[in-house]
Structure 1
Amino acid sequence: MIGAAGVLAGAAWTLSITAATAGGAPAAYGTPSGTESTIGSAGGGDQYYPMAGNGGIDAQHYDLDLSYTPEKYLPKAIRDQYHLLKGEHLGRIEGTATVAIRATQPLTRFDLDLSSTLHVRSVTINGHAVAYAHRADGELVITPQRLIAAGTRVSVAVAYGAIIRRPPVVNGFSTGLIPTADGVVLSAEPTGAPTWFPCNDLPHDKATYAFNLTVPRGLVGVSNGLPVGKRTTGNTTAYQWRTNDPMAPYLAEIAVGNYRIITRSAMGVPIYDYIDRDIPSGRQRKIDAVLAKVPQMMRYLSGQFGPYPFSSYGHIVDKDLQAGASMENQTRTLLMTDEADEATVAHELTHQWFGDQVALGQWRDIWLNESLATWGEWLWRHHSTTDHESLAASYREAVRDMSGSWQTVVTDPGADDLFSDAVYARGGAMLYRLDRLIGDSAMSTILHQWVSMRRRQPASTAQFVTLATRVSGRDLSGLFEPWLFQPGKPRGA
């Protein structure tokens, strides 16, 4: 789900192999150490998205120095050239992404993921220009001047840019950069990260990030982590953000808009909320009231799952995010205006533990993100109301609303049903049944241990099943088989 984009007018972009020459001697990357392949694979091996990610590299850090120009600040000639539909918004992104990678094998060639709708100006390794090819399938193929030895860390800088338009809606969602009336928001799950920066687009290849986001003066630039600086020069303002908490590419976020800022804290964690000033005042008050409960939610959910895992939290609420979905970007959840309700806020906050800290090894296991976030949403509802039957009520509602989704297998929904009711509601219902079967204490132990054990390793369904079986001391196959691994409505549901 990648949006259309055009070439910047008057720019000499290149889309073919560039036989670049570097001034001075090339960096000494290493020498061959065997007969193993020296070409990193073009895909990362995901069952649903085999071309996402790349072989032979492990991303360590992303330094993103970007500028974003909304439509109304673009020259009229560009607006006229690309403006095809009334009400369609445009934007221009350009800059340089510097990616620190570690070679996991000897490399004479490797790839990064970067949408072909973005147009590359240059690629360097450790400051030296290198040859590259930017393919139509979104592979940026990079050829170093000499072999990079396994274990060596190098710095890859890619200069790029493009005019962008709103991406198409696929299965009810827009994925990628979404231009708005006064800026841009981003919803990148599952494979939208390469629509705005070159990366190793795997859900478990986490890295640290630094952002320098330059926007027209008067607008606000938002990203993940902590704000570390702001500088206005002439008609632009640069906002600096940094996250030292390793993060998957699809959870990285940028947003630009006319935002008001609310700050609060919980347990020493700063919370930054960015609310579109153009949302009607009545709706603004309702959103503010919901977000004011986040410190309470954070304290409660920390008791359920373990300490909040990151250095900050907060939300972006933009009135122009319509064709899309609320998204648990790490430390900076994106909320649709119509979804800025208590249930959604609790759901996305729970994702900070499940999906953001504990990462998937394969997208087919997305229920480990969405079902556990659904469970956190139900737990908060139970905690925050006087209805002692609220967990049972949530379970009954989930079963009732499943309707035609019973044939979807929770642990293998398929790429087209990655966000189906089965992944959310059926998985949440299974967790309710697990809790009733083994008791609150064992359930709490499972979730605490899941977070602590898997926070640095990609997670799988098999590992969850093994942990639950060990902690409970019971054979749980009678629950897991019909609810997770088989199609059809389980008996007794």
Structure 2
Amino acid sequence: MNRRTPAATPLALLLALALLGAGCTGGVEGIPGAAGLRDPYFPGLGNGGYDVTHYSLKLDIGPSADDKRGPADGTSSPSTQPSDRPADRLRGTATITARATQDLSAFHLDLAGLDVEGATVEGRPAAVNRAGKELIIRPGSAVEDRLRKGRTFTTVVRYSGSPQTITDPDGSKEGWLRTADGAVALGEPTGSMAWFPGNHHPSDKATYDIEVTVPDPLTAVSNGELISRRTEDGRTTYHWRTAEPMASYLATLAVGRFSTHQSATPDGIRLFTAVDPESEAASEEVLDGIPAVLAWSAEKFGPYPFTSAGAIVERTGDAEYALETQNRPVFPGPPDTALLVHELAHQWFGNSVTPKSWRDMWLNEGFATYAEWLWAADHDDVPVEESFDEAYEDGANWAFPPAGPPSAADISEAPVYGRGAMVVHRLRLAIDDDEAFFDLVRGWTETHRHGNASTDDFTAYVEEETGEDLTELWDDWLYGESRPPVED
């Protein structure tokens, strides 16, 4: 799982702010919200001055104008005809509900590419400027009271264009990935700005309504639950709703030809799977195991934190990696059980308990990797100690401490996964009581359910719950530069 993108150009941003200050009169009193949240690896990512509570996205997706083909028999609409790039263009309206955390005179949204046709705040036209990946909104004075600290306000942005594929610092691709029959949107860590404007830092979670219209016979699959599906004039609109808070990097949209299946687990979790026909036969057995994996995970980590689950399986090669998109992970081809266990474990670690910054990535990947070790012990007769020893002997896991990747290009590298899992196991050994250890883990997921947490939050929580000073464990395994010795 490798995802990231550079920050906006500081000079361009300063010039845009200067233009706003010089060219706009009669604006709202206050100060502009910050253009970034100073994340350790992506300082320009996210925005200050407000907290998003809900996104309502209405998207119309289809081929570009140049790709549309005329009617084959003189009766069909051109937009229903097949195209070499059936999901190349997007027209969207984003309605963003947010609460001001300061008196705002202007604020920013993250958006890569795409053409902005206009914006309103509280129904009134607002000035819009662009600076790299920053969209700067300056409302008029008529809505001044709605932008006071603590007040809720609504912004509507109308936009269109051909969404971008973003290359991360490590060379992997995210954003809008075009496939043979459509596209899939992957957002970790910054790719969601390629298809909708927002506050794209993991610390700002929100609920979502996503309505997507696509030409038949394509299907649009997103997060949460399918609320409705309606067809008119050869186009179908799918309405997806995510009722629990979600970080924007976990939002997904898959457009293509899918075989879909809906069911429910014995305890009422709604399941929705969408599988590319080329991957269907090879995926069936593993996907049938989703209820069992969820039940097993709930015993280890606490109640499943969402009302729906499932999977999206693309054909091999449509993406470079699997991603734990909320409710239904995306797989780049038929997954094996270990990968399914890993991505479903992320529903607890990363999706419900979301990192405060990208420096806390090991809390996602360390626990998800440890879930693989636990599953192998319970189902494949591979003791956790054997998985630990294999990771310990792998030199790639010692390139840097899991809580301190040296750069944005390293946040998805081996130490974050393998050594992160070793931290979890060393904690288990230090507690020396499996019942107490799993109580601790379940307490962690309950305490920070649907919230954000940092590495400092985790270490403080563990020491408070255990009553132990674990400084040596953290120094050696979480922050240490060298490989600590282990007992024979």
Report the Cα offset of residue 278 of structure 1. Answer: 2.7
Paired with 1:165 and 1:53, the residues of 2 have a C-alpha distance of 18
Paired with 1:305 and 1:165, the residues of 2 have a C-alpha distance of 37
Q: The residue matched to 1:365 in structure 2 has which SS?
A: helix
Paired with 1:271 and 1:194, the residues of 2 have a C-alpha distance of 27
What is the alpha-carbon root mean square deviation over aligned residues? 2.6
Match of 1:475 in 2: 469
Q: The residue matched to 1:278 in structure 2 has which SS?
A: helix
Paired with 1:271 and 1:241, the residues of 2 have a C-alpha distance of 13
| Matched AA of 1:482 | D
| Matched AA of 2:114 | L
| Matched AA of 2:204 | D
Match of 2:308 in 1: 312
| Matched AA of 1:58 | D
| Matched AA of 2:35 | A
Deviations 1:208-241 (A, max 9, x none): 1001100011111101100011111112111011
Deviations 1:404-431 (A, max 9, x none): 4413121111311000110000010121
Report the Cα offset of residue 38 of structure 1. Answer: 1.7
Which 4+ stretches in 1 moved above 6 angstroms?
A: 87-90
| Matched AA of 2:40 | Q
Match of 2:15 in 1: none
Report the Cα offset of residue 71 of structure 1. Answer: 6.5
Contact 1:91 1:165 in 2 (8 A): no
Match of 1:331 in 2: 327
| Matched AA of 1:475 | D
Report the Cα offset of residue 177 of structure 1. Answer: 1.0
Match of 2:425 in 1: 432
Match of 1:40 in 2: 33
1:446 matched to 2:440: yes
1:348 matched to 2:340: no
Match of 1:229 in 2: 228
Match of 2:76 in 1: none
Match of 1:362 in 2: 357
Q: The residue matched to 2:453 in structure 1 has which SS?
A: coil
1:93 matched to 2:90: yes
Contact 2:338 2:372 in 1 (8 A): yes
Match of 2:101 in 1: 104
Q: What are the residue-to-residue correspondences of 1:332-411 with 2, within 5 Å?
A: 332-337=328-333, 340-385=335-380, 387=381, 389-401=382-394, 403-411=395-403
431-440 or 205-214, which deviates more: 431-440
Contact 2:166 2:191 in 1 (8 A): no
| Matched AA of 1:351 | H
Q: The residue matched to 1:261 in structure 2 has which SS?
A: strand
Paired with 1:335 and 1:223, the residues of 2 have a C-alpha distance of 14
Give the structure-2-normalised TM-score: 0.87
Q: For the structure 1 residues 207 and 133, does the alpha-carbon distance in structure 2 shift closer, same or farther, using more than 3 Å as the test?
A: same
1:285 matched to 2:290: no
Contact 1:310 1:331 in 2 (8 A): yes
Paired with 2:461 and 2:150, the residues of 1 have a C-alpha distance of 33
Q: 1:299 aligns with which of 282, 295, 309?
A: 295
Paired with 1:156 and 1:320, the residues of 2 have a C-alpha distance of 39
Report the Cα offset of residue 353 of structure 1. Answer: 0.6
Q: For the structure 1 residues 88 and 166, does the alpha-carbon distance in structure 2 shift closer, same or farther, using more than 3 Å as the test?
A: farther
Q: 2:137 aligns with which of 138, 142, 159?
A: 142
Q: The residue matched to 2:438 in structure 1 has which SS?
A: helix
Paired with 1:427 and 1:107, the residues of 2 have a C-alpha distance of 40
Paired with 1:168 and 1:213, the residues of 2 have a C-alpha distance of 25
Give the structure-1-normalised TM-score: 0.86
1:124 matched to 2:120: yes
Aligned pairs, number: 450
Paired with 2:134 and 2:331, the residues of 1 have a C-alpha distance of 31
Contact 1:56 1:105 in 2 (8 A): yes
Paired with 1:383 and 1:404, the residues of 2 have a C-alpha distance of 26
Contact 1:167 1:176 in 2 (8 A): yes
Q: 2:486 aligns with which of 453, 471, 492?
A: 492
Report the Cα offset of residue 185 of structure 1. Answer: 0.6
Paired with 1:20 and 1:122, the residues of 2 have a C-alpha distance of 17
Paired with 2:87 and 2:268, the residues of 1 have a C-alpha distance of 39
Structure 2 residue ranges without an equivalent (≥5): 7-18, 71-83
Identity %: 36
Structure 1 residue ranges without an equivalent (≥5): 4-15, 78-86
| Matched AA of 1:383 | D
Match of 1:10 in 2: none
Q: The residue matched to 1:309 in structure 2 has which SS?
A: coil
Report the Cα offset of residue 433 of structure 1. Answer: 2.0
Contact 1:172 1:324 in 2 (8 A): no
Deviations 1:192-217 (A, max 9, x none): 11111011111021111001100011
Report the Cα offset of residue 68 of structure 1. Answer: 1.5
Deviations 1:301-320 (A, max 9, x none): 11111110001011111115
Q: 2:404 aligns with which of 390, 412, 416?
A: 412
Paired with 2:23 and 2:449, the residues of 1 have a C-alpha distance of 41
Report the Cα offset of residue 88 of structure 1. Answer: 8.9
Paired with 2:399 and 2:85, the residues of 1 have a C-alpha distance of 38
Report the Cα offset of residue 296 of structure 1. Answer: 0.7
Q: The residue matched to 2:46 in structure 1 has which SS?
A: coil
Q: The residue matched to 1:175 in structure 2 has which SS?
A: strand
Deviations 1:288-331 (A, max 9, x none): 10111110111111111111000101111111544421111110
Report the Cα offset of residue 460 of structure 1. Answer: 1.2
443-452 or 416-425, which deviates more: 443-452
Match of 2:80 in 1: none
Paired with 2:208 and 2:183, the residues of 1 have a C-alpha distance of 20
Report the Cα offset of residue 169 of structure 1. Answer: 6.5
Paired with 2:308 and 2:401, the residues of 1 have a C-alpha distance of 35
Match of 1:80 in 2: none
